[in-house]
Amino acid sequence: MDLNTKLFEGESVVDLDHISLSIGDLKEKPTREEFYTNYPFFKHWKNESNSYALHPGGINIYIHIPFCIQICDYCFYMKELIKSKSHVDNYIETLRLEMKSVSEALGLKKRIVNSIYIGGGTPSVLTEEQFNKLMEALHEFHEIKNVEFTFEAEPGTFNKNKLGWYKDAGVNRISMGVQSFDDNIIKYSSRKHSAMQAIKSVEMIKDLGGFSINVDLLSGLAGESMQTWVDSLQIALNQNVDMLTIYKMKTYANTVFFKKGVRTNEIQLPSDTEELAYMGAALDLISGTDYKPWSSFAFSNNGYMHRYAENTWRGQDLVAYGVSSFGKIGNINYQNLNNMDTYAERVSKSLFPLYRTYTLSHKDLMVKELLLCAARLTSYSKQEFINKFGFDYFNFIPETIEELTLKGYITDNRDELTLTRQGMLFGDFVGKVLASGLKSKMGDDNIGFSY
């Protein structure tokens, strides 16, 4: 064939009809007109000119204060006994430096702060000077206006005076780890406060006003019986706080309870069956009150919401400061170094004190959504998933949804998925089943659901 002659005459060198494709929705003749430089194509991009466009949505901030006056026997968090004032002073200065480096590098001053959570450890051990220094740094490197601002406080480590500083600094939510209102159970866990101190602390916070109050309880502590648990729960309900959160006590390998209750059998921990019965009793008791389930383990009085938890479960960015803290920026999960000296040394060199990171794929984000939102928030709308990921997961994993519905874990009204009482008892299990259904449909990976 004389190629030049053919082209000049406007004829194709190949028979395009013969090689046209018909695969699924694609029914096209081949063409060389396309030249792809990106995806999605530029016509879908938004016309924004400032750097804020690179970080849509606000951020949430977590600050870890790892100092405690006691080491509780069940505790698996990064914490240490408070040693000296100067040690804490140095840590606060390190936090300030970390905020400076991270905020400047990521342009955080330009991003809206949606919520702040100062946790620990025991943040309420800070002195006035340390607290004020922390607040100055927080405001110097972030733009903070009218946010939900939570401060964790342990009964016995704060007074009216301290509450005054918190209030003046904009704290509007106090979260108290009470764990039990039974003095013996509290003592068995090596905690220093008493039930009466916890009750007085709630009163003190209410008297000052201006704070929402959350009280944490732990189900499955050493020495617990159904009677002590129900009594403790009733006292907690009588406090009429805004939110009651009930965590299952887990025996992590780095805890005293693991050593004494699992390895050496020196103490008797409630069995899984007993713990399940405690949580069932809690659901029954709470269902007769004004508290409504807000998540599979938190109960809200008068419609009160916990923005920080909801925002971070829903995938908003979480900027985490402090030793061992973990956050998420964009599609990257990260955790800071968990050794205090190495953490401080990296920060002093203006380096991010990262210990480990994980870049979330699109599939990871979907799995995370099902695990942390769909099965934790007591009801989850189908539309929310479609808005985020562009397809309807109800239709994508109908067998999984049907199985969970038939076995009584969820109700599915086609617009939203709602946890039943049984689903509440096994919230994270429901999440795992939903996420597994999605993973197997999309091609499983090697990432399982165990720690």
Stretch that binds ligand SF4, among 71-79, 163-171, 244-252, 267-275 (CB under 6 A): 71-79
Least gap, CB of 47 to ligand SF4 (angstroms): 47
For residue 306, which of 427, 111, 314 has the smallest C-alpha distance? 314
Q: By rule CB under 6 A, what count of residues binds ligand SF4? A: 12
- By CB under 6 A, residue 71 contacts ligand SF4: yes
Please select the residue that binds ligand SF4; options are 60, 61, 120, 311, rule is CB under 6 A. 120
Stretch that binds ligand SF4, among 13-21, 66-74, 126-134, 268-276 (CB under 6 A): 66-74
Considering the complex, state which of residue 289 and residue 335 has its C-beta at the smaller distance from ligand SF4: 335
Considering the complex, state which of residue 119 and residue 293 has its C-beta at the smaller distance from ligand SF4: 119
Q: How many alpha carbons fall within 13 Å on the CB side of residue 237?
A: 18
- By CB under 6 A, residue 119 contacts ligand SF4: no
Distance CA 171, CA 164 (A): 10
Least gap, CB of 125 to ligand SF4 (angstroms): 9
- By CB under 6 A, residue 177 contacts ligand SF4: yes
Distance CA 315, CA 117 (A): 16
Considering the complex, state which of residue 179 and residue 239 has its C-beta at the smaller distance from ligand SF4: 179
Stretch that binds ligand SF4, among 10-18, 68-76, 204-212, 367-375 (CB under 6 A): 68-76
- By CB under 6 A, residue 256 contacts ligand SF4: no
Considering the complex, state which of residue 70 and residue 436 has its C-beta at the smaller distance from ligand SF4: 70
- By CB under 6 A, residue 322 contacts ligand SF4: no
Cis peptide before 40 (omega within 30 of 0): yes
- By CB under 6 A, residue 79 contacts ligand SF4: yes
Give the burial class of 291: count Cβ atoms within 10 A of its Cβ; 0-12 exposed, 13-18 middle, 19 or more buried: buried
Please select the residue that binds ligand SF4; options are 154, 224, 317, 369, rule is CB under 6 A. 154
Least gap, CB of 122 to ligand SF4 (angstroms): 5
Stretch that binds ligand SF4, among 29-37, 72-80, 265-273, 359-367 (CB under 6 A): 72-80
Please select the residue that binds ligand SF4; options are 72, 309, 433, 438, rule is CB under 6 A. 72
Please select the residue that binds ligand SF4; options are 55, 77, 285, 355, rule is CB under 6 A. 77
Least gap, CB of 320 to ligand SF4 (angstroms): 16
Nearest position to ligand SF4, beta carbon: 75
Q: How many alpha carbons fall within 13 Å on the CB side of residue 115?
A: 19
For residue 323, which of 308, 307, 339 has the smallest C-alpha distance? 339
Please select the residue that binds ligand SF4; options are 59, 63, 65, 75, rule is CB under 6 A. 75
Considering the complex, state which of residue 92 and residue 249 has its C-beta at the smaller distance from ligand SF4: 249
The residue ranges that bind ligand SF4 (CB under 6 A) are: 68, 70-72, 75, 77, 79, 120-122, 154, 177
